Structure 1
Amino acid sequence: MNKYVLMVGLAALLTACGEKSEQAAAPADAPKTAQQVAAPAAAPTPAQGNDKAALVEQAKGTVQALGGTLKGELEAAMKAGGPVEAMNICHTKAPEIAKAVSAEKGMEISRVSLKNRNPEMGAANEWQVAVLNDFEAKKATGEDPATMAYAEVVDKEFRFMKAIPTGAVCLKCHGTDLSPEVTAKLTELYPQDKATGYKEGDLRGAFVVVKQLTQ
């Protein structure tokens, strides 16, 4: 398993835990299909113009940067206070980290889910819902969510999504058998939470990367 997939997996616990999308409103037209995009073998080169291949590499690097930072925060939080402390990271630091990575990489990155924790944050828009549903359809045929990605340019907007599968660690806050402490914290932070009941390997959501093109 390469470094890119590992970082995505370790960041999965933080997906859709109340992060507000930092990206601009997207057109309502939905993509026809989701396509497979291989993980990068090296650091991406900044994209020029509408070079889709370069944009994809830049987007994968952006996902890797967010995943790596969240990984460190998650590990520290789990050691300090377990799942409840990890939820505090979701609630406070994760949006700030996404904003900082977006500024650094020149691409807007967020995380969305069909079952988000906060109804006003992390909810997928129309084209993102279409991609997530396509990911779900592929999973139903036996495809591994860890390999799923989508990339397209629509109306001078580059769009990239990377599926996030549910890992074992995710189940502590997103599974079916939650501790009383986790349940109480969810009730406190996210009274309208929808993001529980998952099993290992389920599709939890996706990283979303968007870049407005000038050419």
Structure 2
Amino acid sequence: MKRVLLLTAMFYCVPAALADAGDLDQRAAESRAVVKEFMGALKGQLKAALKEGGPVKAIEVCNVSAPAIAMAQSKKHGWKIGRTSLKLRNPANAPDAWERSVLEEFEARKAAGEDPKLMEHYELVSQDGRQVFRYMKAIPTAEKPCLACHGAKIRPEVAKILDRLYPQDQARGFRAGDIRGAFTITQPM
């Protein structure tokens, strides 16, 4: 009798576990697509701003447009979508404990030789008493345009605007290839 019950339980549990793994992979694929969309919109606006007014104009995109893009993506998908970092420019983007842990994991993976362009992490977690899907994709620092505002040698007129907009700015001193931060997504289950 015990064997029958055990086999019956396994019969129902194994497909459910496999379905959950498939669901996680599907959610990760959807998250990748949303990050690509977010990144594309942000890059497009940054390129246009750089062409129009250089790094000074690009700061406006990161200050005003990036949060608006995140909010629009969040509303469109019904998820919480944003960016975070261990070295913040905007304190409103501070990582929660889970995000901080993943960012630290990304740094360890980079130190071990992994390419930040390929780094992502996702899992189901318990948050506020319910299960949610969490996803993060590393943002590598590019030579151009990132270092104009995030590098060690920032032009004085750019630094002046950054100091005014972000008095607690920690997001400077990056080198090409560093992990600037990450896109972060929380999906309700």
TM-score (norm 2): 0.84
Distance 2:151 2:102 in 1: 23
| 2:168 is the alignment partner of 1:192 | yes
Task: Supply the distance in 2 between the matched residues of 1:140 and 1:93 (Cα, whole angstroms).
Answer: 32
Matches within 5 A, 1:1-215: 51-119=23-91, 121-155=92-126, 156-168=131-143, 169-213=145-189
More contact order relative to length (CA 8 Å, sep ≥ 6) = 1
User: Could you list the per-position Cα deviations for residues 52-107 of structure 1 after superposition, in whole angstroms to 9, with x for gaps in the alignment?
Assistant: 11111111111011111111111110011111111111111111111111122232
Identity percentage of aligned residues: 47
Task: Give the letter aligned to residue 164 of structure 2.
Answer: E
Q: How many residues align?
A: 164
Secondary structure of residue in 2 paired with 1:211 = strand
Aligned-partner residue type, residue 104 of structure 2: N
Superposed structure 1 runs of 4+ greater than 6 Å apart? none
What's the RMSD between the two structures over aligned residues? 1.3
Deviation of the 1:118 alpha carbon:
2.4
Report the structure, 1 or 2, having the larger helix content.
2
CA offsets 1:132-189 (integer angstroms, 9 cap, x no match): 0001001111111111100101121000000011101210000001101111111110
1:210 partner amino acid? T
Unaligned runs of 5+ residues in structure 2 are: 1-19
Larger radius of gyration: 2
Provide, for residues 186-213 of structure 1, a one-character-per-residue CA deviation record: whole Å limited to 9, x for no partner: 1110111000001000010000011111
